[in-house]
Copies of this chain bind each other. A is one copy, B any other.
């Protein structure tokens, strides 16, 4: 996209001074009213701390990418960090590779892999191979690396992410990422053939086809993981960092690989996976100080419960997170933001396009009358309903990190 967006103006105005910003991102937090309860997950949850933050904050709704657009987690987060999602398009493959600390080199082509179960007719019966254990995943990856040889001027890497998730990286000359997914996102059909979307991708398509065939031969006797599905092919090009763009020294606190990957992609430091919700808040407290201006704490399970269609599970998890928020509030950051990268209503069981509630707390906000943190109450807040990209500008301004525009 060629057009100038407002985040480029923030770049020009950002300076290396001002306060600290903390983002607490509850993945997939936004919901829909359950038809029986008449409440969204947030409305059903007991969440005194979220409500207190809302009461002291400027609230609103963020339409993350745009009207009707259901964001993946990558674009969802990039948007919240001030990277225009139509301009910075990062494939799932690159995010997965970054998420496991894989040392990507410019030009590498990466794809996200699912181990899957295929039946005797090569029909997919389970797109996640029963969510195999990470240990089995490691064993299978090793077996593939030891037995699959690819005939090209370069090398490939095939690495475990977790459970059924892995990542394929191709490194060499003449590679293209302009390939269709082989994951049909459906069962009772065969994996799709790797199709080139443009002429220069034919060689890579052939290479991937031969890789998939070899893998299926090598895994022929394995159960339940006897096949692989590839999606999100992308070519790695380093992005300008949060510091390059907004003069923010950032740190990411997240357990889940992809969010660690996004953080790293934007030049944030990423702490070792804390290994649990409470620990994540403790780690945030520990790294809060002079080294960083921007803190990103990521919480995954709201999204997971939503995807599982588990309304009550999502409610319970919101309540768990709520109990931990005083740890963040006690830090008294100059700007505290609570929001989500997209909605994942339990009623739908998947990501959705619905705007997400946001609360922004700082000394300089126009407070409003919102005293509940949910999708309905926040609609009446002083931030109004606005594009997700706006958030970073508002956070930077409230932290005193943007100079005046013009004289």
Contact = CB atoms under 8 A, between A and B. Distances in A.
Interface of A: 1-4, 6, 9-10, 13, 32-33, 65-75, 85-86, 89-92, 95, 112, 231-232, 345, 347-348, 350-354, 364, 366-368, 375-376, 379, 382, 384-386, 390-398, 402-407
Nearest 3 pairs between A and B by C-beta? A68-B393, A92-B407, A68-B397
Contact of A366 (B69, B85, B354): B354
Given A65-B405, A71-B405, 8 more contacts: A9-B66, A32-B364, A33-B366, A68-B390, A71-B406, A112-B407, A366-B376, A379-B384
Nearest to A232: B407
Contacts of A85: 405-406
Main secondary structure of the interface of A (DSSP, over half): loop
A67 B407 contact: no
B382 A351 contact: no
Given A1-B4, A407-B74, A407-B112, A13 B67 contact: no
A407 B231 contact: yes
A403 to B, nearest CB: 8
A337 B385 CA distance: 21
How many copies of this chain? Answer: 2
Residue of A66, A92, A366 with most partner-chain B CB within 10 A = A366
A405 B2 contact: no
B364 A406 contact: no
5 contacts: A9-B65, A68-B402, A232-B407, A353-B393, A368-B376
A384 B385 contact: yes
A91 B407 CA distance: 7
B4 A3 contact: yes
B74 A367 contact: no
A73 B405 contact: no
A33 B345 CA distance: 36
Given A3-B3, A75-B405, A406-B85, A386 B67 contact: yes
Given A379-B382, A407-B92, A407-B112, A66 B6 contact: yes
A403 B350 CA distance: 11
